[in-house]
Amino acid sequence: MANTAKFWFISKPQYEIRGGKKGLRGVYDCLASDYDNSRYLFYTRWIEREEETIINRWLDELSSPAIDVGCGTGRYAVKIARMGISTIAIDLSIEVLKKTRKKGGDGILPVLADAESLPLKADSCGGIICTLTFDHLFNPTSALGEFERVIRKNGICIMSTLNETLLKRFRRKLGIPCSYMPFRTEKCGPTLIYEKGHTEEKARKLFQEAGFRIKATELCPVLPGRLIGKLALFRKLIPLFVFKLGF
């Protein structure tokens, strides 16, 4: 049963396609209650752990107030708040914001908002973190314009993105439509939502055109070699480009 849950997408289930921002919001509202503990999110947990080994080393470079764009259930927002940094948690989903607030308490200000239209004043924040959210943005150029507008001079923006080239291979193997990725939990059946991915070159270009200077790039490890058999097709699916950006 455990392996069936971990590798559920290999059987190519019948998916519900949830398009647009409304679809993203609805799916994350549905995922929120069991997102942190679902046995179906094995790969999500693995990606998060590998990403955190890098990003955790950079969190102390953020300054108040820090913004977690696409905060989800508070994976980073809670850590940042516990460091004594005033934290604004932003997401499209009211349900994941509730989870974040419950975990972080008064140290977190939850804001229901779109990354492409941040309800914040210019030069009002000391740092932005945007992890595994950038790939869900339908207009990343608009979002980056907002990042540049609200972040103070010399502020830091930390982001991560999945490798677009390898995501394309993954989709082809599973017959998934372009720019969609599968999600499932105990309460949310097999669903496809928008998640595009970016190559390192494209991500660099987008941030540079928005006025950011790339200070560091790191690559997370690929899928562990011990995971073989049916998963061998996906061994190189998981690399993450993690950028630390500033002016």
Average pLDDT over all residues of the chain: 88
Return the CA Rg of the chain: 17
pLDDT digits (tens, 9 = 90+) for 52-80: 988 999 999 999 999 999 999 999 999 99
pTM of the model: 0.90
What pLDDT band is residue 223 in, cutting at 50, 70 and 90?
low
CA distances from 3 to 37, 41, 226, 230, 231 (A): 16, 12, 14, 11, 11
In a 10 Å sphere around its CB, with 0-12 CB exposed, 13-18 middle and 19+ buried, how is residue 61 labelled? middle
Residue 6 pLDDT exceeds 50: yes
Residue 118 pLDDT exceeds 70: yes
Q: Which CATH superfamily groups domain 30-246?
A: Vaccinia Virus protein VP39 (3.40.50.150)
CA distances from 223 to 2, 112, 195, 238 (A): 18, 34, 19, 6
Residue 221 pLDDT exceeds 80: no
Closest to 53 (Cα-Cα) out of 219, 244, 167? 219
**DSSP bridge partners of 213:** 246
Both tokens assigned to 40: 């179906």
Both tokens assigned to 181: 């990725």
pLDDT of residue 208: 92
* Angstrom distance (rounded) from CA 205 to CA 37: 36
pLDDT digits (tens, 9 = 90+) for 164-196: 888 888 898 889 999 999 999 999 999 999 999
pLDDT of residue 244: 80
Placement of tokens 């209650």 in the chain: 33
What pLDDT band is residue 225 in, cutting at 50, 70 and 90?
very low
What pLDDT band is residue 228 in, cutting at 50, 70 and 90?
very low
